[in-house]
Homo-oligomer: A and B are copies of this chain.
């Protein structure tokens, strides 16, 4: 966890008059241990075996809090569950490409989009707050070679592919 995250979180806790609990702290540690995005369920799995495990209710409440604090970004990958992105402070521009073949998600940034967003938003009479471009695409190698490494991997892991709801 970067000092920035820590500071921002502490400030938020103080500002809102919240308290420090081991459950919340364990969740925060698990969340910011990596910069990978995750779902509520994946986070639940990460806490497997950890001493300070919380209930699902607390997990969801904490996710809401961190989102409110601006430390997490909710994103929708079209699979019926919310995905959380802890990578927001470092990368305020959040765009995702989802492979419709295997469900792989590529996160990327693009300056052009940022500029374009700003122009468009102002032209429409609003002030920009945030934006995200979501691209659905298909795998080039699947098309040319007839197979896709990601696809195989995804099947093995039993991942839910895009298009499947719930």
Contact A138 B127 (CB under 8 A): yes
Q: Which residues of B contact A156 (CB under 8 A)?
A: none
Contact A132 B131 (CB under 8 A): no
Q: How far is the CB of A73 from chain B (nearest CB, A)?
A: 11
One complex includes copies of this chain to the number of: 2
Binds B, one of A31-39, A40-48, A110-118: A110-118
Closest to A123 in B: B108
Contact A129 B121 (CB under 8 A): no
Closest to A67 in B: B163
Closest to A74 in B: B78
A28 within 8 A of B: no
A137 within 8 A of B: yes
Question: CA–CA, A133 to B95, complex, Å?
Answer: 9
